[in-house]
A = this chain, B = another copy of it.
């Protein structure tokens, strides 16, 4: 019964890392033609929910560090997906707004997302998906 603490193939971190790699790779197969990264896609979703969020708040809602958000918004601004505007009342805040281009993507992407989810989750039953989501949330 010599327990092997160094078994990578049954290590939860290692398994999660692999699963993420796989899910991301599915994403990029579908979304590379839009030039979007997974995180940029997250920014779009949050802004479709509520436009004009301050960067800090955007970061919180994506569980992403402020320094990371800076870079992501830089690149999305370069691609004309969003624009930055200083808040009038509190000039420490930089609010992020969708451009027309950023708005329009919402309808284009709807079908893609539907198909992506199908591809990723078809390996599991509905009940398994429900369980997996429940358990993985407990780790966070």
8 A Cβ contacts from A24-46 to B: 24, 27, 38, 42, 45-46
A133-B6 in contact (CB<8A): no
A100 to B138, CA, bound (A): 39
B133-A132 in contact (CB<8A): no
A13 within 8 A of B: yes
B135-A128 in contact (CB<8A): yes
B10-A133 in contact (CB<8A): yes
A8 within 8 A of B: yes
Residue-wise, chain A 1-33 has the 8 Å CB interface mask toward B (1 for contact) of: 000011010101111111111111001000000
Q: A residues within 8 Å of B by Cβ?
A: 5-6, 8, 10, 12-24, 27, 38, 42, 45-46, 48-49, 62-63, 106, 109-110, 113-114, 117, 120-121, 123-124, 128-129, 131-133, 135-140
- The 10 listed contacts between A and B (C-beta, < 8 Å) are A5-B117, A6-B106, A8-B62, A13-B38, A14-B42, A15-B140, A16-B20, A19-B136, A131-B131, A136-B136
